[in-house]
Amino acid sequence: MNQRGDDGPRFPTAAGIFFGLGLGGFFDGIVLHQILQWHHMFTSAGYPPDSVSNLKFNTLWDGLFHASTYVFVVIGLVLLWRAAHRRHLWWSGRMLAGSMLMGFGLFNVVEGIVDHHVLQIHHVNETVPTEQWLVWDLAFLAWGAAMLAGGWWLLRSGRQRTERRKPHLRRVQ
- Domain range summary for the chain, segments of one domain joined by +: 13-168
In this predicted model, what pLDDT tens digit does every residue of 39-63 receive, in sequence order?
Answer: 999 999 999 999 999 999 999 999 9
What is the C-alpha separation between 72 and 151, in angstroms, rounded? 18
Give the pLDDT confidence score for residue 1 in this predicted structure: 40
167/133: higher pLDDT: 133
Going by the DSSP 8-state scheme, the letter that residue 134 receives in this structure is H
Give the pLDDT confidence score for residue 72 in this predicted structure: 97
Q: How far is CA 39 from CA 21, 108, 126, 152, in A?
A: 19, 15, 6, 30
What is the C-alpha separation between 40 and 62, in angstroms, rounded? 7
Largest CA distance in the chain: 64
Q: Average pLDDT of 133-160?
A: 97
What is the C-alpha separation between 89 and 49, in angstroms, rounded? 50
Examine the pLDDT at 172 and tell me if it is beyond 70: no
What is the C-alpha separation between 163 and 173, in angstroms, rounded? 19
Examine the pLDDT at 113 and tell me if it is beyond 90: yes
Give the pLDDT confidence score for residue 81 in this predicted structure: 84
Instruction: Please name which of 73, 63, 67 lies closest in space to residue 40, comparing C-alpha atoms.
Output: 63
Q: Average pLDDT of 91-117?
A: 94
- Specify the range with the lowest mean pLDDT, choosing from 26-35, 43-52, 83-92: 83-92
